[in-house]
């Protein structure tokens, strides 16, 4: 339906890459809904173009420029910058109903049935199940609700410093009022839950429809070796659920990198979207340095960039050779240093 949309948010190039993977995962699972991404003004032009190739609508939200109550709220609560940007999703009144999804989520099967739910439907947060997790939620755009949310932000702020605190404060009867607004956990399966309740994950995990890479370490904080299928790096010693991380990286390498390459033409095809990682605290440089000291095959293309582009477009990336992850990563390293 044209008046229903999935909505996500990216204020940096790193989160934009997450949004690209999310968008591809929604499309690959044949969503019939519109797809919208809200972006902050700092997302680079190539990343914006890549997002435009994947999403129906890319909307720049600049809370500082907005000159309205959001700006006023920001002046009073400067710590809520990203949160206030996220709340802008309530202004998308061209849609009657939307599903918001964090940029660090990945869709594993069609989830259009979420649009049968009402505002505010969400899954429990694994850390405090009487709160909902705000990584996936169903809402109805409304200027009235938006104004009330901003007013709530200004007066009460956020008990956890982010959007989840504001939204749980505002929709405060979620835990008790209406069980139909409790989404099954498989619509927002977070890595944390897997190891806190492994038997439940073994019993129900195969039904997962949305994975949420919640927490400090995001999929893009790791490095990935396509030969060994090994994931390394991040701030933790071992990734919390490597199977889903592998899904993320596989989708990124096979469907997002070609879109990025189109934006760059002859330029290194993944460069621009990593520039902001220099200031991204979730990225560890240790692994990067460690791995870049090992020898790699030449990254120079043996065919013309036009031929190479054609191959990418036909889905024939040379993953074991020229387009190997080592080579891609080496290119990335030059931007990280
Ligand atoms: N986000 C963003 N830029 C930021 C931080 C967050 O665009 O610097 C958006 C993005 O959509 C992200 C969501 O806000 O998925 C919530 O943040 P995050 O996923 O990092 O929180 P967590 O799920 O780990 O609590
Ligand atoms: Mn998240």
Task: State how far the Cα of 120 lies from the Cα of 307, in Å rounded to an integer.
Answer: 49
Same domain, 212 and 186: no
Task: Residue 15: give the domain boundaries.
Answer: 4-192
Q: Whose CA is nearest to atom 7 of ligand 1?
A: 10
> Domain boundary residue among 192, 216, 235?
192
Whether ligand 1 lies within 6 angstroms of the CB of 108 is answered as no
Same domain, 116 and 169: yes
Output the CA angle 330-305-326, nearest 5 degrees.
20
H-helix segments, 29-162 = 45-54, 69-76, 81-87, 143-156
Whether ligand 1 lies within 6 angstroms of the CB of 105 is answered as no
Statement: residue 276 has pLDDT above 50: no
Ligand nearest to the CA of 82: 1
CATH number at 57 reads 3.90.550.10
Tell me how long the chain is. Answer: 337
Whether ligand 1 lies within 6 angstroms of the CB of 102 is answered as yes
List the 57-60 sheet strands across, edge first. Answer: 57-60, 34-39, 4-10, 97-101, 132-139, 121-124
Q: Whose CA is nearest to atom 18 of ligand 1?
A: 214
pTM here?
0.81
User: In angstroms, how far is CA 19 from the centroid of its own chain?
Assistant: 4
What is the sign of the dihedral through the CA atoms of 119, 99, 167 and 134?
positive
Task: State how far the Cα of 280 lies from the Cα of 149, in Å rounded to an integer.
Answer: 29
pLDDT given for residue 261 in this prediction: 85
Same domain, 218 and 188: no
Q: For 43-99, write each residue's pLDDT tens digit.
A: 999 999 999 999 999 999 987 777 677 787 777 888 788 888 999 999 999 999 999
CA of 301 to the centre of ligand 2 (A): 37
Task: State how far the Cα of 64 lies from the Cα of 72, in Å rounded to an integer.
Answer: 9
Same domain, 24 and 102: yes
CA of 11 to the centre of ligand 1 (A): 9
Statement: residue 247 has pLDDT above 50: yes
More reliable by pLDDT, 309 or 131: 131
Task: State how far the Cα of 249 lies from the Cα of 243, in Å rounded to an integer.
Answer: 10
Which residues 6+ apart lie within 8 Å of 106 measured at CB?
Answer: 21, 22, 25, 210, 211, 213, 219, 244, 247, 248, 251
Q: Whose CA is nearest to atom 23 of ligand 1?
A: 214
Is 91:146 a contact under the CB 8 Å cutoff? yes
């Amino acid at each position: 339906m044209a008046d229903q949309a999935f909505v996500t948010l990216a204020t940096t190039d790193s989160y934009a890459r997450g949004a690209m993977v999310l968008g591809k995962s929604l499309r690959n699972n044949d969503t019939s809904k519109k797809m919208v991404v809200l972006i902050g003004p700092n997302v680079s032009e190539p990343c914006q173009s890549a997002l435009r190739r994947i999403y129906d609508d890319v909307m720049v939200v600049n809370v500082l420029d907005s000159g309205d109550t959001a700006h006023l709220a920001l002046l009073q609560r400067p710590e809520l910058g990203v949160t206030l940007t996220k709340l802008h999703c309530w202004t998308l009144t061209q849609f009657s109903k939307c599903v918001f999804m964090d940029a660090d989520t990945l869709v594993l099967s069609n989830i259009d049935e979420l649009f049968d739910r009402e505002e505010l439907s969400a899954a429990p947060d694994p850390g405090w199940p009487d709160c909902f997790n705000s990584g996936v939620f169903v809402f109805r755009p409304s200027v009235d609700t938006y104004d009330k949310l901003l007013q709530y932000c200004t007066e009460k702020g956020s008990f956890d410093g982010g959007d989840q605190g504001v939204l749980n404060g505002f929709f405060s009867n979620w835990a008790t009022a209406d069980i139909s607004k409790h989404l099954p956990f498989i619509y927002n399966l977070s890595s944390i839950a897997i190891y806190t309740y492994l038997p439940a994950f073994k019993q129900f995990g195969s039904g997962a429809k949305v994975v949420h890479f919640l927490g400090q370490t995001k999929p893009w904080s790791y490095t990935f070796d396509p030969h060994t299928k090994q994931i390394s790096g991040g701030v933790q010693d071992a990734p919390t659920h490597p199977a889903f991380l592998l899904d993320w990286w596989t989708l990124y390498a096979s469907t997002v990198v070609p879109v990025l390459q189109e934006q760059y033409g002859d330029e290194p095809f993944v460069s621009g979207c990593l520039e902001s990682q220099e200031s991204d605290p979730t990225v560890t440089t240790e692994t990067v340095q460690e791995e870049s000291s090992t020898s790699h095959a030449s990254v120079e293309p043996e065919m013309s960039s036009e031929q190479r582009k054609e191959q990418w477009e036909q889905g024939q990336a040379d993953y074991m050779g020229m387009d190997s992850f080592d080579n891609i990563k080496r290119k990335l390293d030059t931007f990280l240093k």
